Structure 1
């Protein structure tokens, strides 16, 4: 993927809901499952949630030859399969199968927490269900060799210093010139892939209609909308193949099931390489085909393969020694990508961002504090990356006024609503991380903003940073998505273009099945979903918390997302 380092100095408004997933299927003939090729490999886990078995499943479903040259791995579809350890081994014998589409820049590993919690909660009620976390086809380009080593320094050396791991040398982050086959990975191929996978894994359509619940997180809700309205055999008069007849119901996690991005907020920076939608579908497709336009989304801050790899590396450190002093900020090589990301995420104000002083290297931080700084809602300024995993501890804290100041009236969107904070003593004490379940304890200093507003409280912290680290570093399929297809997002933004509109063959499919909508109380759609959808609202949750929240919550009540999904699996209505 090409690294786009140009900054246009402004942010795109509500153009793109970042962790959303969208999809629909065309009427083209389904891809063939070559020679019945399928592998399933058990996944060992240190999760505290017991009674759940995990495996990674790969099914060979080649792209059409017209896609052009691509790595052999990209002719396979992959997903993480979670099931009850006491339940049937065959998916067709499960009581229900939940199939989840990820959001933009999101991989299958992001669903680990909610998948385990939901399967376990259903089992408590005597229901043996499965949860399939889908990986987009383009994730075939990711190399997890360094992360799989289990050692943070080894991972940095592998990805950034050319050192071998198990005899393998990292081939580098893929440039745009090698990604011609991705020019066709739009909404049509995305929903086609879901259909082909379902047909391969559960061949009986009547079973799919009875047992499968289709849904997703963020942009995944839009993809589910297109899937529901798609026709897969090219004949609208036959409906057994229609998307809505592959599902018994739909579920939406901090999103809605729709064929439009209109319900979604939270946006990408304007310095991504997303093309101008005013160019029109045909011009954009020609640009993607020729390589004039980047086939993947990227930006110099966080949203590119190099910097997203850092999240998993930070997870490795926190997973191995949460309270140990981190050396990652100083061990990483210095380059434009990493420096821009460090400044954006760890600058107290504009002056610090411009000068680079003090930098993250000037602070003593534990591994937990490093990961918290990257993903906690009181630190990271981009709402689509936010979780509620606790708060800084161990020393004085100040308001973080870059890129926007605390205070005033904020609506859910690009920056989120939580006040931002930052350690305030370079070369000072060791800053630690107060986990979600220790916020509000008697020894909590209760840090406040300069205007007197508490930065956080126990009702606003819901995710265990240890389990977030595990999901980032322990999964065989990534939590993040390094190579997100530009075409998927431009297709959805051009939903009224004839080339995209034709994919909505069965519009009645959106209302053909029951829908469960679960929203993060402080997420991208907070307060904006029509009440007639009867959404379940998870109070205190941010956008990613609906996937990562701990099974045991601070208020003593059952975790609401997985509880709602398990109840929906029992009886969709």
Structure 2
């Protein structure tokens, strides 16, 4: 395992249409006067699997009054706590605690597999560690009632047809007018929330400095960079409160620990509703405060609360009846967002997208195949949503040349590098799903593109589709983030503005502690790995695979991300 000390990086002028130039933030160093008001805490067991106990922890940490009216649930911070059943019950007695910040449009549930795998690997080494998967505060707006029913039809009826579940009726997806309090949820409040949570859960600063490893996935690496360089008591001369003095080390999962978004090029598509308008800090904040600018980031296709809920519902179906024929595409209501998403994800070319024929409803798919089509790297065309969960089976497939064509030079950033495929015969055979560990088996048809290139090979498949379904459908904190604060992205996009620069009080904090950087071999940084960080490369992995990969890989080796995290936890020096 390679570990190195992270090196500070100057923000680069690498911008894509994915992240537009808007910025809003406030000073970080002033502590919120009522940050610890309430002091309530709850911990609810989720379950124990293979010696790893999971619970959801909620700590009451109210927002300052200046945020205005918000749901009562939004005055609580939440995280998923994973620990070995053979280890101590108290977090303070654990050998190490890994604290993970999620990426863009990502919730705590996305860490389910890597958290379990890391705790298990550490236990095999005789270490009892914990893994805390943090949820951003805005996830308080999500309603799990339909998904928690465990029935796909019930979930669809709850979210889209107004039917009650256990006496509860869905209040609807929140619109911009209901999100006024989110106008202040930028990088300042995000790292403040992490600090307040850590100091509440582990009040002894010297213990935090010895035992905590701070890190994250994707955008979580940048959030960790700001946390490391932050001052939390308003006095830069005192450093016990500094972010870097809350951690014994840092870890970065397909990202870097820095205060720049440059390494995350391709992490978001360009049709999100953050306008590319070069506004200054004050103008953007005024736009967010007034509601002229959207307070939650979304796009008309796939990336909005209504359509992201479909990922969890697809997970429910894959758990409920993995090999059964799915009726989800036909059972869903017909509206503009869902229709556009279906066309975007299941059109083989531009003509099919424009005409809508054949549509996903014209194909016979198992529940597993529906989930695979939504998240597999040979199907979904957005790199930051891709995982390597296997491939279509049961019938002929063809090239998916929309929204980008297969072949030629590797497709950069946004669309990923893998050839895309799609079932070829509407009204034909039942398309099943070949899981990651059956790719390359003797009965594998070995599907190829029209140019002769194999769509996939065993070394490129790493995630078990049923584990992915569990992470999507059986977590008390969501895998996805339906209401991502626009202000968090716009703050980071204008990192050079005075209002954001002032948050980096201790720039040497980036290099104050040892850092483990683990990168997906085919992820967002593919082809431009930062050699100065001496990263561990997980070959064949996509951006999400660093979180979702199965504990044992196709070649029999232990999963490398969790293996290296466990080693780093044992000795981060």
* TM-score when normalising by structure 1: 0.95
2-structure distance, mates of 1:409, 1:477: 39
Q: Which runs of 5+ in 2 are unaligned?
A: 1-13
Displacement of 1:35 in angstroms is 3.4
**Per the alignment, in what secondary structure is the counterpart of residue 133 of structure 2?**
strand
Counterpart residue number, 1:455: 455
Counterpart residue number, 1:499: 499
Displacement of 1:36 in angstroms is 2.2
Displacement of 1:17 in angstroms is 7.2
Counterpart residue number, 2:43: 40
**Per the alignment, in what secondary structure is the counterpart of residue 462 of structure 2?**
coil
The CA deviation string for residues 125-178 of structure 1, in whole angstroms up to 9 with x for no partner, is 000000000000000000000000000000000000000000000000001101
Counterpart residue number, 1:4: none
CA contact (8 A) 1:101 1:215 kept: yes
1-structure distance, mates of 2:364, 2:447: 19
Residues 180 and 411 from structure 1, CA distance in 2 versus in 1: closer, same or farther, beyond 3 angstroms?
Answer: same
CA contact (8 A) 1:76 1:137 kept: yes
2-structure distance, mates of 1:219, 1:16: 13
Displacement of 1:410 in angstroms is 1.3
**Per the alignment, in what secondary structure is the counterpart of residue 208 of structure 2?**
helix
Q: Within 5 Å, which residues of 2 pair with 1:120-519?
A: 120-519=120-519
2-structure distance, mates of 1:528, 1:241: 35
Residues 499 and 300 from structure 1, CA distance in 2 versus in 1: closer, same or farther, beyond 3 angstroms?
Answer: same
1-structure distance, mates of 2:268, 2:262: 15
2-structure distance, mates of 1:32, 1:219: 24
Displacement of 1:28 in angstroms is 1.6
1-structure distance, mates of 2:494, 2:145: 37
CA contact (8 A) 1:326 1:365 kept: yes
2-structure distance, mates of 1:132, 1:312: 21
Displacement of 1:530 in angstroms is 2.1
**Per the alignment, in what secondary structure is the counterpart of residue 245 of structure 1?**
helix
2-structure distance, mates of 1:430, 1:245: 56
Counterpart residue number, 2:69: 69
The CA deviation string for residues 171-224 of structure 1, in whole angstroms up to 9 with x for no partner, is 000011011100000000000000000000000000000000000000000000
Displacement of 1:58 in angstroms is 0.1
2-structure distance, mates of 1:457, 1:217: 26
CA RMSD of the aligned region, Å? 1.5
CA contact (8 A) 1:413 1:524 kept: yes
2-structure distance, mates of 1:40, 1:227: 25
Greater CA drift, 296-305 or 410-419 = 410-419
The CA deviation string for residues 484-528 of structure 1, in whole angstroms up to 9 with x for no partner, is 000000000000011100000000000000000000000001231
CA contact (8 A) 1:24 1:504 kept: no
The CA deviation string for residues 278-321 of structure 1, in whole angstroms up to 9 with x for no partner, is 11111111000000011000111110000000000000000111
Counterpart residue number, 1:80: 80
CA contact (8 A) 1:17 1:261 kept: no
Kindly indicate whether residue 533 of structure 2 is the aligned counterpart of residue 533 of structure 1.
yes
Counterpart residue number, 1:9: none
Displacement of 1:264 in angstroms is 1.6
Q: Which runs of 5+ in 1 are unaligned?
A: 1-11
* TM-score when normalising by structure 2: 0.95
2-structure distance, mates of 1:37, 1:557: 43
**Per the alignment, in what secondary structure is the counterpart of residue 278 of structure 2?**
helix
How many residues align structurally?
556
Displacement of 1:33 in angstroms is 2.5
1-structure distance, mates of 2:545, 2:235: 41
Q: Within 5 Å, which residues of 2 pair with 1:46-125?
A: 50-125=50-125
The CA deviation string for residues 427-482 of structure 1, in whole angstroms up to 9 with x for no partner, is 00000000000000111000000000000000000000000000000000000000
Displacement of 1:14 in angstroms is 2.8
